[in-house]
Structure 1
Amino acid sequence: MTRWERFWLNCQQDLKLYTFIWMLLMFFRIAFIALLPQYISPGITWVDIATSIYYGGRISLKSAGIAALLSFIFCTLINVIRPSLRTERLRRIIGYTFIFTLTLLFAARLPYYKQFHTVFSPLIFNTFRDDVQAIISTLVKEYDLIPRLAAAIAGAVGGCWLLAWWLNTRNLPVPRFTNRWLRRGFRTVVVLAIAWFMVFARFGGSLGYAGSVHWHNAAVTRDEFLNEAVLDDVQALYRAWSMHKMLAQATALNLTATRVANYAANLTGKQPVTANLDDYLRKEADGALIPRPRHIFLIVGESYAAWPLLPEYDNLHIADGLKNIAARDNAACASAFVPAGHGTMSSLGSLITGLAEVNLYPNYQPETYRQQYPTALAVQMKRLGYKTYFWYGGFPSWQRIRDFALAQGFDAFYGAGDIGQAPGNAWGIEDKFLFEAIERIWDGSEPSFHLILTISNHPPYTVDLAKEGFSPSILPETFRQDKAWLAKLGHFWYADKVLADFVDAMYRRYPDSLFAITGDHADRMNIEPNPPLFVRYAVPLVLYGQGIHKNILPQTAYGSHLDIAPTLIELIAPRGFVYYSLGRSLTHGAGIGIGSDLWVTYDYIGRISTNATEHTPYYRPGAVPPDKAELKATVDAVQAVSWWRVKMGSGL
């Protein structure tokens, strides 16, 4: 057999592998849409679905091309150069590897989308910094990891058998020409056709970048779910990695010291005349608005979303505890409030440091352990005369949380391992026992500030709800018959109940206290498959305690986690007290609440990454959204200053 004949036959095998992987990706795309039809928005037609599948097919030309390129380089070319080397087995190994990988990713895609309403976000790259054992335990208990894995492996084995059969089908013999020029012309056409096909596949059904399909322009339909279906799992992972890398390096902002100084100056209204970034964040308190509280409690509820507090969900009765507190005369609420990030650590990092979430994970950054950020919440509370405590229902080693908290100003840290034996799961102890431990361990003898992070409203759902007094009869009939919904809604009810019980107990015991209650993030549980942005992402902020009244915040108050520290400081600090903040006090009125990918005002909420804009439940007819240019300038400034402070320090 000549080298050309080997090349001809090997190229057909590469093409077979390519078509098989492409068809597998298409099968998974159609299965994704078919298995989760509840996430398709009302009004969507078959035209939208066909559009998603069509553009998905184009983008999958790229993904399948990876397998074909590996086969072409390591099988076809090597076999042509070294005919003695048998490479068909290697081609099958490449194909089998892709089949197993894609099948396992598809098995993960379905529960991932149900949980996060996206297909593989940048958060996955923090997974192995997380408590891997707890994650695996959650996957086993809550997401049926074992049967899902078994089904995926069985499906992959079947796919490998089909691929082996497909690769064994007959190839076309090489055309033979007696005329030398015809023979050379044919070979030239074949080589050019291969080059053309490589370019065509590389650009997703186009011959240039301008007409290509890629993750940046994959939102081709009117429906968010169908737009996610456009991306196969290879492209979704590439998108997640690209976003993770972009945020980590801040390449989109093109940062220089001068540029950061200008950002900080524009954000704070100061002149760019100092080489110390912290100078721009310096503020002075207007003077205390309430009597100085002896104790301050900032309670961060795991997955405590704002939507159960809205009137349209009153029939669920899962947030009655916090609603009762918020309704009292000595309570005030932010109407529209968004978290700093989409995960616990991303939001917590912002709450602790006072800096925006820009995907840097300050709990792992050297600067965090070299010095305390002047914007750090505990640092400023200590300057106000409070001893600072961090209470966590989980384990101190998770995400280096103990080291992180102590490095950034907390005097004492207590986690599940410090509290002793108590019911719980792989993530830590149940909320009730965390709150009981606080009452037992802390003696209240000196002014104190407490940041309390709960864990129970998180899968795996293991609280004995019946023992805790939960009755399914409080829920509408639809949810009483569904064990999964009973567990989800019941654990929200439990987390809300024990939180409210703790606040009431502490307030009776220490009536000169101030409480601030929020959630670390939402976007984990919604009873609608396609909730609006506010319902999906917003978290509450409730202030309660001595001196608080309904008018202490504007009725249109809104913001984000960045605004909690300055709000607390402006409530209690004497006039002229110097503090440092990237956010603004909610007592000061209008601004823009900024999260990692969200912004909010009283009337509007939007995504930073996609420019999507929607009304909040408080929308007033005639209200206009923020100017896009001003919004972008604010977001860029907040992110740039935060990135520089964590990565480069205070020097400009």
Structure 2
Amino acid sequence: MMFSMPAWLSRFTRSRFTWKTLYTGILEGLKVFAFYLAVLSAFRGFFIAWLAPYMGASTGGHDIFLALWRGFRLSMQTAGALTLVSFVPGLLLHYLWPRWERRIVLALNGVLLSVLSILFVASFPFYRQFHANFNQMLFTGANDDIYALLITMVQQYYLPVRLAGALLLAYVLWRGLRALLRCSWLEDCMDGVRLPAPVRWLGRLAFLYLTYIAVLLGIFGGSLGWQTAVNWENAGVTKDEFLNEAILDNVQAIYRAYNLNERMLACNGLDFTTEDIRNLAARLSGKPADTDDLDVYLTKEAQGPQVEKPKQVIVILSESFANWPLLDKYEDIPISHGMRSLIAEDDTDYCPTFLPNGASTVSAVTGVVTDFADANLYLTTMPESFAAPYPTASAPQMEKLGYTTNFWYAGSSTWERIGAFTQAQGFDHFYSRGDFGDVPGSVWGCEDEVLYEKVLDGLDPDTPSFNVLLNASNHSPYDLDLEAKGFDKEAVRAALPEDHQQDEELLKELGHYWYADRELAKFVKAVKEKCPESLIVIVGDHGDRYNIDKTPTMYERYGIPFIITGKGIHKGTLLPDAAGSQIDIMPTIYELIAPKGFSYMAVGSSLTRTNRQGVNYGFFITRHAIGKADTVPLVPESVDGGEPPTIDQQAMEDYINGVRSISWWRPKYGAILDASKLEGRR
């Protein structure tokens, strides 16, 4: 029996490899490369032009040109990758199924252009929301309530309209690419010119050399070698944060987000040895570095109560409740009357220099529930978080002080596994929207007034309880009926700078802050009337969602308020130069109410005793300074807009590294610092 060769293999073996087929194939690849590079560059230029108000006031034409040029070089890498996706299949199809080559190549590029167009259209609302090109929030969202995200995108960001526009854009670009590929001017020139053999060979070598250069530029991001390569890590070279984000095309931004997320999941973003952690923990606690048991360094003793022990302790994590509306410069904008009035009361103290634990709500939850800083771990999904409460967990320690522990959430218990997580960390009871019946609200949760009503009904003046509340109304899609709630939009409009008065989206956002502020104030008043022996702490879960200023200072963008009120609280309860973050909430409460000698465990420390600095996933803060926590050296900015203050560099670096290293090791590897647990991690 004779061997029968498959048809596709027969076609391949009969194919003749000629200079013309090579030239034509490479030329088509170069056309695709040039087309994608032009598209990505045009997208970048339009992005910068459309969102120009987000540029700093001192940004000039030179900065814009630098961003465009740097981005052009970086996008050579993206264009090269996209070209490879369509070029390699096209090359194989040319020999295997030549009849289908053109159709499949065009189809592949149609898909790629659709993805690029959708990302481009989506990048505008994403930047407005997060002041960044695509970042790790994409992966945080993957663990979020997908249905709620979808509804938000439909209601607030007009998903169907944007999607239709993106697909129309993709179709126009696809037609342009098809026309470019059909243009055969260069191929015709080659066929029509008859040159001597030596000249032809020199021309071919020159063409191949230029192709080689184009390949290098695609691999190394506009450079000929890795030494000068442009990549997402070194692309941001301008002095303007917006332009540095615009340098990254959308594909590079997603690649950055993926890399950072992988580092987070692998815990490679924190490179501490066990010796480092022991020494840092010792400095943080003021104890000698003579043990490998981290829990020794985390154990503290209360210095004695500063107020009469309250019957009710309530911590309110208020959605997107930023501190900037409480600043003096914004006092004429009528959206924060409730908290301003509360702060002015004699039984209230306020720390204006406070940071969230992370960029998203789940970090605030883990900060209060576990007292661990956001340190490249996703605690609500880690198996270790469900085995037993961490020794720093707030609920078991409040239970030792005699309190029943309750967690109240406006949304669904399945969001970020919050119901299972909080109960695994020791809360006696968890209540969510599913327990409240058919109540008004958005896809993210019931309205604040509903949540507060349910909590108020659940408070027994004679039964000590510790309650953590997480509300949701001040969250996109910002769909409250503000007019029905009594929001005076025109009064707010009149108080805004003239160039913001017609920004209806901003007015809607400010209206939701107004609602959150009003309902908070009403709830605090109601609690004090029903349970006069109460201690109430109010913080935002995070800031960084919207500002009046398109280029806010670091302090205005990220700061959240820390407000403490109740029986026994007075002006001066908090240190006059207090500063902190959400890991300092529970230590502050312990030091206010616990008897002298009460043993508790915490990473943070009390704003009433010692704490004068805060740190989170990316920033540090003191009473006068704020800055990024990952620069060397640390570069402080003034909180009040004055001259940059000085800080003790070594002390702040030790504090940052101490908080991060402990919060990284303890929940993942346990109490004992054992170097063998790190084997194979690097």
Same fold (TM over 0.5): yes
CA contact (8 A) 2:118 2:166 kept: yes
Q: Does 1:625 align with 2:647?
A: yes
Could you tell me how far 1:346 is from its partner in structure 2? Answer: 1.8
- State how far apart, in whole Å, the 1-side matches of 2:485 and 2:296 are: 50
* 1:23-59: CA deviation from partner (whole Å, max 9, x where unpaired): 1101110110111111111122111111111111011
- Aligned partner of 1:463 in structure 2 is 480
- Aligned partner of 1:340 in structure 2 is 357
* 1:381-437: CA deviation from partner (whole Å, max 9, x where unpaired): 111111111111111111111001111111111111101111111111100011111
* 1:85-135: CA deviation from partner (whole Å, max 9, x where unpaired): 753333323322221111100111000000110001212112121111111
Structure 2 letter corresponding to 1:230: I
* 1:559-592: CA deviation from partner (whole Å, max 9, x where unpaired): 1111111111111111111111111111223542
Q: What secondary structure, in the 3-state scheme, does the structure 2 residue paired with 1:120 have?
A: coil
- State how far apart, in whole Å, the 2-side matches of 1:571 and 1:637 are: 24
- Aligned partner of 2:566 in structure 1 is 545
- Aligned partner of 1:109 in structure 2 is 123
Q: Does 1:27 align with 2:42?
A: yes
- State how far apart, in whole Å, the 2-side matches of 1:89 and 1:124 are: 33
CA contact (8 A) 1:394 1:415 kept: yes
Which range moved further: 334-343 or 203-212?
A: 203-212
Structure 1 letter corresponding to 2:56: S
- Aligned partner of 1:196 in structure 2 is 213
Gap regions ≥5 residues in structure 1 = none
- Aligned partner of 2:576 in structure 1 is 555
Which range moved further: 90-99 or 453-462?
A: 90-99
Cα 1:185–1:466, aligned 2, differ >3 Å: closer, same or farther?
closer
Structure 2 letter corresponding to 1:449: F
- State how far apart, in whole Å, the 2-side matches of 1:197 and 1:467 are: 61
Could you tell me how far 1:609 is from its partner in structure 2? Answer: 4.1
- Aligned partner of 1:497 in structure 2 is 518
Q: Does 1:264 align with 2:249?
A: no
Matches within 5 A, 1:218-297: 218-297=235-314
* 1:300-347: CA deviation from partner (whole Å, max 9, x where unpaired): 110000011111111112111111111111111113111011111122
Which range moved further: 371-380 or 64-73?
A: 64-73
Q: What secondary structure, in the 3-state scheme, does the structure 2 residue paired with 1:446 have?
A: coil
- Aligned partner of 1:14 in structure 2 is 29
Structure 1 letter corresponding to 2:327: L
Structure 1 letter corresponding to 2:126: Y
Could you tell me how far 1:3 is from its partner in structure 2? Answer: 3.2
Cα 1:638–1:590, aligned 2, differ >3 Å: closer, same or farther?
closer
Structure 1 letter corresponding to 2:63: D
CA contact (8 A) 2:267 2:376 kept: no
- State how far apart, in whole Å, the 2-side matches of 1:3 and 1:262 are: 68
The alignment's C-alpha RMSD in Å is 2.2
CA contact (8 A) 2:353 2:579 kept: yes
- Aligned partner of 1:515 in structure 2 is 536
Which range moved further: 7-16 or 468-477?
A: 468-477
Which range moved further: 476-485 or 572-581?
A: 476-485
Q: What secondary structure, in the 3-state scheme, does the structure 1 residue paired with 2:468 have?
A: strand
Structure 1 letter corresponding to 2:454: A
- State how far apart, in whole Å, the 1-side matches of 2:462 and 2:171 are: 65
- Aligned partner of 1:613 in structure 2 is 636
Report sequence identity in percent. 37
CA contact (8 A) 2:352 2:560 kept: no
- State how far apart, in whole Å, the 2-side matches of 1:110 and 1:484 are: 14
Q: Does 1:318 align with 2:335?
A: yes
Structure 2 letter corresponding to 1:624: T
Matches within 5 A, 1:149-188: 149-170=163-184, 172-173=186-187
Q: Does 1:41 align with 2:62?
A: no
Could you tell me how far 1:189 is from its partner in structure 2? Answer: 4.9
CA contact (8 A) 2:605 2:611 kept: no
- State how far apart, in whole Å, the 2-side matches of 1:84 and 1:461 are: 54
- State how far apart, in whole Å, the 2-side matches of 1:607 and 1:275 are: 30
| Match among 601, 604, 616 for residue 583 of structure 1 | 604
Cα 1:426–1:83, aligned 2, differ >3 Å: closer, same or farther?
closer
Q: What secondary structure, in the 3-state scheme, does the structure 1 residue paired with 2:373 have?
A: coil
| Match among 313, 319, 322 for residue 302 of structure 1 | 319
TM-score by length of 1: 0.95
- Aligned partner of 2:662 in structure 1 is 641
Q: Does 1:63 align with 2:63?
A: no
CA contact (8 A) 2:347 2:565 kept: yes
Which range moved further: 499-508 or 256-265?
A: 256-265
Structure 2 letter corresponding to 1:208: G
- State how far apart, in whole Å, the 2-side matches of 1:442 and 1:63 are: 57
Cα 1:549–1:110, aligned 2, differ >3 Å: closer, same or farther?
same
CA contact (8 A) 1:6 1:80 kept: no
Structure 1 letter corresponding to 2:240: D
Structure 2 letter corresponding to 1:200: L
- Aligned partner of 2:101 in structure 1 is 87
- State how far apart, in whole Å, the 2-side matches of 1:145 and 1:617 are: 39
Q: Does 1:137 align with 2:151?
A: yes
Matches within 5 A, 1:381-530: 381-477=398-494, 478=496, 482-530=503-551
Give the total of aligned pairs. 649
Structure 1 letter corresponding to 2:532: P
Gap regions ≥5 residues in structure 2 = 1-15, 674-682
Could you tell me how far 1:82 is from its partner in structure 2? Answer: 4.8
- State how far apart, in whole Å, the 2-side matches of 1:248 and 1:270 are: 31
CA contact (8 A) 1:12 1:171 kept: no
- Aligned partner of 2:680 in structure 1 is none
Q: What secondary structure, in the 3-state scheme, does the structure 2 residue paired with 1:87 have?
A: helix
Matches within 5 A, 1:353-364: 353-364=370-381
- State how far apart, in whole Å, the 1-side matches of 2:108 and 2:662 are: 45
- Aligned partner of 2:676 in structure 1 is none
- State how far apart, in whole Å, the 1-side matches of 2:526 and 2:204 are: 85
